[in-house]
């Protein structure tokens, strides 16, 4: 019987997660950082059954409570789909597309995080922590059904940068019941 010998060398990539899992975790951390900076809580969804990765929550204060308190988010992360002048053309799986376009009481958005392909996604220099690059959002509610069986190309506008001020604007619309 042989006993495995513990790894004793150095290796930058020997025991890391697959790239797709790294992208998933980084996109969750990115949205949590934005939500925290904007003053909101985040609930991660343990089982993604309805194209839902997390929920951003706002809270009442005193006698003032929002009409609706949560924004539901489906996350995607890509380095392969580069931003163009009109946005990021992202192939959304048909299941996600159909889940996000259906009428619902809650507000749902798709957030696509674009990360660099060849450089670090995160840099720490002793005085700051920088996350690279940027996320963008789009609501797919009321989009038409499509005959596609695999994916639907969706253009996520670069004007919809998912940043703290934009999240506050979205959450105000959620509170008023005006965000589709």
CATH of residue 113's domain is 3.40.1350.10
Q: Higher model confidence: residue 110 or residue 5? A: 110
Residue 11 pLDDT = 63
Q: Higher model confidence: residue 59 or residue 145? A: 145
Residue 10 lies in a domain: no
Report the distance separating Cα 162 and Cα 164, nearest Å: 7
Residue 55 lies in a domain: yes
- The boundaries of the domain holding residue 158 are 19-176
Residue 12 pLDDT = 63
Name the domain count of the chain: 1
- DSSP one-letter code for 104: -
Residue 8 lies in a domain: no
Residue 29 lies in a domain: yes
The average pLDDT across 18-33 equals 91
The whole-model pTM stands at 0.87
Residue 106 lies in a domain: yes
Lowest mean pLDDT among 89-93, 145-149, 172-176: 172-176
pLDDT at residue 9 tops 70: no
Percent above pLDDT 90 for the chain: 52
Residue 10 pLDDT = 63
Residue 132 pLDDT = 80
pLDDT at residue 5 tops 70: no
Residue 130 pLDDT = 86
Give the sign of the dihedral formed by CA 166, CA 41, CA 96, CA 119: positive
Residue 142 lies in a domain: yes
The average pLDDT across 25-37 equals 94
CB atoms within 10 A of CB 103: 7
Residue 69 lies in a domain: yes
Residue 113 lies in a domain: yes
E-assigned strand segments in the chain: 41-44, 54-57, 70-78, 88-93, 107-114, 122-124, 129-131, 134-138, 151-156
């Amino acid at each position: 019987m042989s006993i495995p010998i513990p790894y004793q060398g150095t290796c930058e990539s020997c025991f890391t997660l697959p790239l797709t899992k790294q992208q998933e975790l980084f996109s969750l951390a990115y949205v949590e950082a934005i939500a925290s900076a904007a003053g909101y809580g985040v609930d991660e969804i343990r089982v993604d059954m309805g194209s839902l990765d997390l929920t951003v929550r706002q809270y009442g204060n005193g006698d003032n409570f929002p009409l609706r308190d949560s924004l539901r988010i489906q996350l995607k992360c890509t380095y392969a789909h580069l931003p163009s002048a009109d946005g990021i053309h992202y192939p959304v799986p048909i299941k996600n597309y159909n889940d996000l376009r259906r009428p619902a009481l809650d507000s749902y958005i798709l957030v696509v995080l674009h990360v660099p392909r060849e450089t670090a996604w995160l840099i720490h220099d002793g005085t700051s922590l920088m996350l690279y690059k940027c996320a963008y959002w789009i609501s797919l509610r009321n989009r038409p059904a499509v005959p596609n069986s695999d994916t639907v190309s969706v253009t996520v506008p670069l004007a919809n940068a998912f940043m703290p001020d934009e999240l506050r604007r979205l959450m105000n619309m959620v509170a008023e019941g005006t965000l589709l």
